[in-house]
Amino acid sequence: MKNIIFNRHGNQIIIHTDRPVCNDKWELLQSRGFKKILSLYLENLRASDSPLLEEINAEIDTTSNNTTVSIGPIDLRTKEGETELHQLLTTSAYERPSESTLAKINPAIVDQLINGLYDYWRSFDRFVVLHLPSGQRPYRAFNEIIESFTHIVRSTYRDMSENITGKRPRIYRQVAAGVNVGLITVPYNSNATPSLPTDYRETFADIPFIRQIWIDPPMIIDPPTNKRSGGFKKLNYNPFANKKFPSSEWICYPAQVGSLLVFIYFHEQFLSLGSALANLFELATDEQLSSGTAPDAILAYGVEDSNDGVAFYDDEKNFIAVGTVPAGNEFSYFGYLKKMVLTLHNVVMMKRGRLPFHGALLHIHMKNYTPKNVLIIGDTGAGKSESIEALRSLGHGNIRQIKIIADDMGSITLTSSDSSKEQLIGHGTEIGAFIRLDDLDQGHAFGQIDRSIIMNPQKSNSRIVIPVTPIEDVIKGYAIDIILYANNYESVDDDSKHPILERFTSPESALAVFSEGVSMSKGTTTATGLTKTYFANTFGPPEYQDLHQHLAHKFFTAAHKAGIVIGQLRTQLGIPGFERKGPIAAAKALLDLICNKNNDNN
């Protein structure tokens, strides 16, 4: 890479480089990137007909060699004026206050201009992608490059402001002045990374792989879309046949999705969403990428000129599941990225004889009681996370540990214990959580804000992505003690026909409720009202219903024989007026079940 490449996609600024972005103020001010930001800022002022333009468009009288010289007017509505301002800004970063040419206009007005330019730069989501040859891992140097760039940007702004106003600030705000995210990428090398099946090598040839991510949290991004719309369809053809993605525009995040290796390719226009994957899925290790095995699944996110829609394909020839999501603002929502990855996971797991679930798996250890592994299955907005947060609050002081094994999706395997009884072993997929801020306990959300990525904070269905559990716990496997369906649509009555926690007495009665998958929509998608989704999991099982039904009957029968508690938990989250009270009541009932020694199956 001979030159530093400066790209803009909407509200994103992306810097591609193979060396430090700049070494000092002079390099920063002379860079094409600085000139581009200055030009965009002035275009913004012109579009709004800012009064600042009128104030700057005046003659400047300055002194040079004891001679008064008139400079101006600087017409910032023209390219010539823009060039002249750039020259004066460059000079002002080095001049003493008494010599500053721009200070002759009106220090307060020019300071407004510089502050506006600084704020305009910081209004973007800013990224640097460091492209390195395979085998190089200058992790410490990379961190220093990012921190040095931040210092240069901040000090240049402060020097300009001080030299023009002649005043030093009394309050220093150490805002994020450089980039929000930094990536180290290396080129794809078939000898150093898992071998892609032959049918995919040309499609994804030379696309760089992320090997390290640097994030400056809390990171706030505002994608154009804040909800998913519609489902994911299964294709009967490979969407990547005869396609070639430009390696200069695409990046791969190799993810550990539970025990699976998934190559997540995304177009750089979705870099903010692609970077957020670091808080959700563990980045694959060098050892995994040098093992020579093929990935279990592939996703391409941001495919241009695609008529495939949001879809997946079961490539039985190559033993791999692949997914595709089109480009466009309507697909610029993290839920598309996350849920398609999990759909591919579910497809692979079903074909391997595992039962995928859409829900939360928790390891809960109360004081003086045997630890319980609780699986709560339910659709998005069913009250799973709300009930868990209420349980944290209610059990405060009596909880030794709550460990999240699966936050949203996972799978179950069958195994035999020493007593020859089959056990249901639960596994997770994600190290993080994509949580709705609207309904989440605020104490928990803000307690994690220093590690979070926040999306659409000013809109409904605002979300936060936070790391919650190490990958070791996600893939370890925990014997399940309790399986509950999260029912958010039925009211609790006093005659015990609809209790908060209802236990099923047979696999058939349980499967009737779980398979119907009824839920009241909570506005996380464009669906409204009461909905039905097979097994509360639209991400793969409906397209493999025969296979899934066979697995579900097998697993639920085994659970019943093993004495696992199976029931439904009425969270009442979808009932007006019970958005808070419902999950609290559900959490109390769950605590009673966990702490009731009569229900101890160990």
Q: At what angle do helices 79-92 and 32-47 cross, to 10 degrees?
A: 120
| Structure confidence at residue 523 (pLDDT) | 61
Closest CA to 344 of 318, 324, 326: 324
Residues 6+ apart with CB under 8 A from 212: 137, 139, 142, 183, 184
Instruction: Return the pLDDT at 497.
Output: 85
Residues sharing a CB contact under 8 Å with residue 410, sequence separation 6 or more, in sequence order:
258, 356, 357, 359, 361, 426, 427, 428, 429
Q: Mean pLDDT throughout 394-402?
A: 90
For residue range 482-523, what is the model confidence (pLDDT) as tens digits? Answer: 999 999 999 998 767 899 999 999 999 999 999 999 998 866
Mean pLDDT, residues 168-180 taken together? 89
User: Of the spans 284-293, 441-450, 548-557, which averages the highest pLDDT?
Assistant: 548-557
Provide the pLDDT for residue 598. 42
What is the mean predicted confidence (pLDDT) over 125-149? 85
| Alpha-carbon span 399 to 252, nearest angstrom | 40
How far apart (Å, rounded) are the C-alpha atoms in residues 298 and 300? Answer: 7
Indicate the CATH number for domain 355-431+468-599.
Answer: 3.90.228.20
Q: What is the DSSP secondary-structure string of 116-178?
A: HHHHHHHTSEEEEEEE--TT---HHHHHHHHHHHHHHHHHHHHHHHHHHH----SS------S
Give the number of other CB atoms < 10 A from CB of residue 439.
18
State residue 314's pLDDT score: 98
Give residue 412's pLDDT. Answer: 98
**CA 295 to the chain's CA centroid:** 21
d(CA 46, CA 202): 46
Q: Is the pLDDT higher at 171 or at 6?
A: 6
pLDDT in tens, 100-136: 566 566 777 888 999 999 999 999 999 999 998 876 6
How much is the pLDDT for 447? 61
What mean pLDDT is predicted for residues 352-371? 96
As a whole number of angstroms, the distance between CA 160 and CA 172 comes to: 15
- What mean pLDDT do residues 80-93 have? 83
Question: How is residue 2 written in tokens?
Answer: 């001979």
pLDDT score recorded for residue 599: 47
Indicate the pLDDT class of residue 442, thresholds 50, 70 and 90: low
Q: What per-residue confidence (pLDDT) applies to 174?
A: 86
Look at residue 602 in the predicted model and tell me its pLDDT. 37
Angle at 441 between CA 436 and CA 447, to 5 degrees: 95
Query: Which pLDDT score is estimated for 70?
Result: 47
Give the residue from 517, 561, 479 showing the smallest Cα distance to 382.
517
- 315-350 pLDDT per residue, tens: 999 999 999 999 999 999 999 999 999 999 999 999
Q: Where are the domains of the chain?
A: 5-165, 186-351, 355-431+468-599
Mean pLDDT over 18-29 rounds to: 93
Residue 164 above 90 pLDDT?
no
User: Which pLDDT belongs to residue 553?
Assistant: 97
The total number of residues shown for the chain amounts to: 602
End-to-end CA separation in angstroms for the chain? 61
Between 100 and 403, the more confident residue is 403
Of 124-128, 282-286, 287-291, 505-509, give the lowest mean pLDDT range. Answer: 287-291
| Residue 181: count of CB within 10 angstroms of its CB | 26
What CATH code would you report for 186-351? 3.40.449
The number of beta carbons lying within 10 Å of the beta carbon of residue 499 is 16
pLDDT the model gives residue 306:
87
- Give the pTM: 0.91
Per-residue pLDDT, 137: 64
The half-sphere exposure of 440 on its side-chain side, counting CA atoms within 13 A, is 21
Using one digit for the tens of pLDDT, what is the confidence trace for 213-250? 999 988 999 999 988 888 899 999 999 999 999 999 99
Q: What letters, b where the CB count within 10 A reaches 16 and e where it falls short, cover 350-367?
A: beeebbbbbbbbbbbebe
- The average pLDDT across 156-185 equals 89
